[in-house]
Amino acid sequence: MPVQVKDYRKYLDPSIISKLKTLELKARAVVEGFKVGLHRSPYHGFSAEFSEHRPYMQGDSLKDVDWKVFAKSERYYIKQYEEETNLICNILIDSSKSMQFKQNGEITKLDYAITLAASLAYLMIDQQDAVGLTVYSDKIKNYLTPKANRVYLRTLLTALNNIEPSGLTSTARCLDDIAEKIKKRGLTIIISDFFDDPDSIVSALKHVHHKKNEVIVFQILDPIEKSFGFDRDAIFVDLETEEQLTTQPVQIQKAYQDAMNQYLAKLKSGCLNFGIEYNLIETNQPFDKALMSYFAKRAKMN
């Protein structure tokens, strides 16, 4: 299913992608849309084969410059050798009950997370990188070690497709457990709403990072979880504990927004202080924001 240049933006739109039948089709559409978008962006020239080139940096030998790429793009890129291109990546996805929330977004947080994880796996295995998967909530539910072959992509997609939301959020504890399973340095990607104690989360992220791993955090929220833009009295039900609270949202909206902004700022600053890349993504935002963050981190690691 080749993506036409004029149509590429729609294949990054969660509301469009959600209508495709299979997870493999969704992942392929997102990746192809992303690649076409790169061709039309300032990154043109670095998008055709992610795994074969990296930008020229001060100190690189001119003999390694790919002059054919320069002739096409007027940008300097270094031809990479095979040992430079292999990456080991562990993708961690939160499947706790809070991830099944949907209000203003077209899809649930978990649906967005699954499609993002599938797209990242598709992209990385296409680059001959090794990808593993961990599904967790209050415990580790599934752990697949990183492998690089295309047959393994089906295993990863099947595991993602079979995820059912359950359990409480215990990101911090699960990250500590997962850190002990990661034996080789590489990239760790965590996709969650991170509804847990921010200090504990940052401490656990630090644990993963100190294993000589680069870390990218994708915090996935429904738009209304930031705005609290409810316009009528409502009964709120905690998806994880089933506790109920009747309230008038207008009266507490400002206090909620202040508390949420403080929480987000604390999590973000905690990540950045330890060199962890933090991304806040709402479920109505195109997938290219997340893929570009991965792409930028991947380029820095070469």
Instruction: Transcribe 127-191 into DSSP letters.
Output: TT-EEEEEEESSSEEEEEEEE--HHHHHHHHHHHHT----S---HHHHHHHHHHH--S--EEEEE
Check residue 120 and give its pLDDT: 96
Please write the tens of the pLDDT for every residue from 23-71.
999 999 998 888 877 655 444 333 334 445 667 666 666 767 777 777 7
Residue 99: what are its φ and ψ, rounded to 5°? -75, -10
DSSP-assigned letters across all residues of 216-260 = EEEEEE-HHHHH----S-EEEE-TTT--EEEE-HHHHHHHHHHHH
Report whether 116 contacts 189 (CB < 8 A): no
Domains defined along the chain, listed by start: 5-83 (no CATH), 86-301 (3.40.50.410)
pLDDT of residue 111: 97
Pairing of strands 88-94, 187-192: parallel
Q: Show pLDDT as tens, one digit a residue, over the chain (302 residues).
A: 555 545 667 778 998 999 998 999 999 999 888 887 765 544 433 333 444 566 766 666 676 777 777 777 777 777 655 444 478 999 999 999 999 988 866 799 999 999 999 999 999 998 888 999 999 999 999 999 999 888 999 999 999 999 999 988 888 899 989 888 888 889 999 999 998 888 999 999 998 987 678 999 999 999 888 865 555 555 555 555 556 555 655 656 777 788 888 999 999 999 999 889 999 999 999 998 899 888 888 777 76
Stated pTM of the model: 0.79
Mean of per-residue pLDDT scores for the chain: 81
The gap from C-alpha 92 to its chain's centroid, in whole angstroms, comes to 9
Give dist(CA 112, CA 284) in Å, integer.
Answer: 9
